[in-house]
A and B are shown apart, each in its own frame.
Chain A
Amino acid sequence: MSYYLKRLGQSVLVFFVTVTVTFALYRMLPFGPVEMMRANLISQLVQQGNPTPDQIEKVNQMVQAYTGINPDQPWYFAYYEYLYDIVVYQDFGVSITKREPVFQILFAAMPWSLFISIYGLALGTTVSLLLGAAMAYTEGSRFDAGMTVVSIINTTVPYYIVAILALIVFSFNLGWFPSGGRMTPGTTPGFNYPFIAGIVEHAALPILSSFIAGFGGALAFRGNCIREMGKGYIRLARLRGISQGRIAIRYVGRNALLPIYTSIMMGIASLFGSSIILETIFNYPAMGFVTFEALMDRDYPLIMGSFIFFTTLTLLGILVADLTYGIIDPRVKGGAERESY
């Protein structure tokens, strides 16, 4: 048990360090939202004459009212207030450009990103595991050689190139799929065919691209399977009359999965990271898209909000991978739980 607590504590610590460093860096960045706005306002004042300290104080107040940031405050004091609001009031602040609570914006965008990423990841993982296993079982065949080439090309070509190509071919040339948005205009949200079909149509290309982004595991799994198939316990299992299906799943598959399990779980995090680029390419208004816009607008509270979201997901992915590894590999159980004889 102590292992789980320790591991959880580590994650919380890493989370706070990451958020703190990001907050500080962002605040120290020259020409952040505060400087931008303050410079604009002061230059207006300078044109009217020399600004009095009174006027400058007023400018500062305006900046603070508009951005929610007091430029005179040191960053750590601001950070304390920021955290205080989050912890006590669950308040992530208000977006500077959208004038809406950050939490509301992110909460509305989140399901769409989850939808695309989870389908992409599920498809990518399933297909790459099945393909890897199929290649291992047909090692040396033309299918194996052909799919190896395909997999190498797939991992070499970045997913955003694939996304742009998919957009050109399937949307602009063939017109099969829309080039942006997330639902067909004019449909009523709810459980009806036109609405759901619209959602699927809009999500198809982003899911295809994130499927390709999450697809790299086939070759690694192929190699692991081939290595497992040479092990003594596979030979013995065959001699003992264990069925091929059980050997494939319980012996080869299970053991071949161990080395890539963590990287699959961490793929969840990287997939959300890739959603920033994918959603921008497909003009798909969800988490990634919102984050990118906020970045361009220097919408400081919104960026911090989505940053916290991505950090949480990454840490959760790693944490879940670590905590569940003992379940899939009995050799990695917490020390006190099992005895060795």
Chain B
Amino acid sequence: MASRTQTDTDDFDTDADDFGGDLAEDVVLEVRNANVSFDMDRGESRVLRDVNLEVRRGEVLGVVGESGSGKSMLASAMLDAVVSPGQLDGEVIFHPEDGDPVDVVSLSDRELTELRWNEISFVIQAAQSAFNPTMTVGAHFEETLRAHGSDVEEGLANARELLEDLYLPAGQVLRSHPHELSGGQKQRALIALSLILEPSVLVMDEPTAALDLLMQRSIISLLADLKEKYDLTLVFVTHDLPLVADIADRLAVMYAFELAEVGPTDAIVEDPAHPYTRALLKAVPNVADREIDIAGIPGSSPDPVHVPEGCSYHPRCPLADEECRRDDPAFRSVGDDHEATCFHWEDAADEIPFDTEGHDE
């Protein structure tokens, strides 16, 4: 898997001509220079800043970051589903298995309806209010099938199988109203609903929020099974790094509406290059530790209207120097298929050491 390793340019390659399919790795979804902004009275609020990310066919990509780091915006941007009045600029290129790549952002409403659910599906953050309380769960499946001109009988048979795969009693669940299901059942029914038209990519925005730990684990293992069975590509957005590390092939760490580090899960968990990722991992409590010593990150994440000049992490970073305050670091290769936006990544491991050997995992 060749990685993009521009160390000098400020950005990823922005030339749109080369997305014609000669990418060595099998990329299914490409986000290019994605920006999301909201016009507010006190200024323009940029909640996604120049994000470049690729999703590879068949992988599980975990997008992690703290609350308000722009994770959900990135997830929404992948389907051009940013909530108005948010404005998405940039490109999101979808590469179908066979056929020409399409730029999701420039599609018409009709084409978007075609693409969503058929190709790229979405699990919204608020699973507990994702179903219309005055309709049965089954009616949601039916209307989705009708809206896409699919065969309802066949689709419902498909839905039953999906629900059974998720260990739900299909007949009962389809007949129920949303309030008759538990939180975990609703979450699983929602995942089944998003897979009803057999998409190739499933983007999930905090699919385990508001669930207890056991249910979170069981959803994770169910997702791994589903991915195998239905040949899915998963984008898993969460703030829970240890949870997603279990199934993700690669991780993308976000800080202050930008990507801070992207790389294979093992590399990021064991030897992260970005000071923020290191600090974030240190903040994860470790059950193996006798003393519970959680090191928080001093300071707070920036306001989307006033993001610091230069590297957005510099006010909280122990390695920050004049260069960090002045220039915004571009992605640089820090290992095999592993990139980070830090000038001083080589010093990060010494400056922010992990005290316990074999931390986590």
Q: Which residue of B lies closest to A242 (CB)?
A: B147
The number of inter-chain residue pairs (CB within 8 angstroms) is 77
Given A330-B134, A331-B133, the answer on whether A242 and B143 have CB atoms closer than 8 Å is yes
Chain B interface residue count, CB cutoff 8 Å, equals 35
A239 adjacent to B79 (CB under 8 Å): yes
Contacting residues, chain B, for A331 (C-beta < 8 A):
133, 177, 179
A98 within 8 A of B: no
Q: Which residue of B lies closest to A330 (CB)?
A: B177
Contacting residues, chain B, for A340 (C-beta < 8 A):
179-180
Rounded to whole angstroms, the CA-CA distance of A250 and B131 in the bound complex is 12
List 20 extra interface pairs beyond A242-B143, A255-B132, A340-B179, CB under 8 A.
A232-B128, A232-B130, A236-B122, A239-B79, A240-B116, A240-B140, A240-B144, A240-B193, A242-B144, A242-B147, A243-B147, A251-B132, A254-B132, A255-B134, A258-B134, A330-B179, A331-B177, A331-B179, A341-B176, A341-B185
B331 within 8 A of A: no
Rounded to whole angstroms, the CA-CA distance of A328 and B144 in the bound complex is 22
Task: Name A291-316 residues within 8 Å CB distance of B.
Answer: none
Q: Which residue of B lies closest to A247 (CB)?
A: B132
Chain A interface residue count, CB cutoff 8 Å, equals 25
Question: Which single member of A232, A241, A254, A329 contacts B116 (CB below 8 Å)?
Answer: A241
B222 within 8 A of A: no
Q: Which residue of A lies closest to B128 (CB)?
A: A232
Rounded to whole angstroms, the CA-CA distance of A81 and B28 in the bound complex is 86
Rounded to whole angstroms, the CA-CA distance of A246 and B142 in the bound complex is 13
Most buried by A among B79, B113, B132, B180: B132
Q: Which residue of B lies closest to A254 (CB)?
A: B134
Question: Which single member of A235, A239, A250 contacts B135 (CB below 8 Å)?
Answer: A250
B117 within 8 A of A: yes
B144 adjacent to A338 (CB under 8 Å): no
Task: Name A308-335 residues within 8 Å CB distance of B.
Answer: 328-331
Contacting residues, chain A, for B134 (C-beta < 8 A):
250, 254-255, 258, 328-330
B6 within 8 A of A: no
The 4 A-B residue pairs whose C-beta atoms are closest, nearest first, are A232-B126, A241-B113, A232-B129, A241-B147
B148 adjacent to A237 (CB under 8 Å): no
Q: Which residue of A lies closest to B112 (CB)?
A: A241
B81 adjacent to A338 (CB under 8 Å): no
Question: Which single member of A231, A246, A255 contacts B143 (CB below 8 Å)?
Answer: A246
Rounded to whole angstroms, the CA-CA distance of A328 and B125 in the bound complex is 27
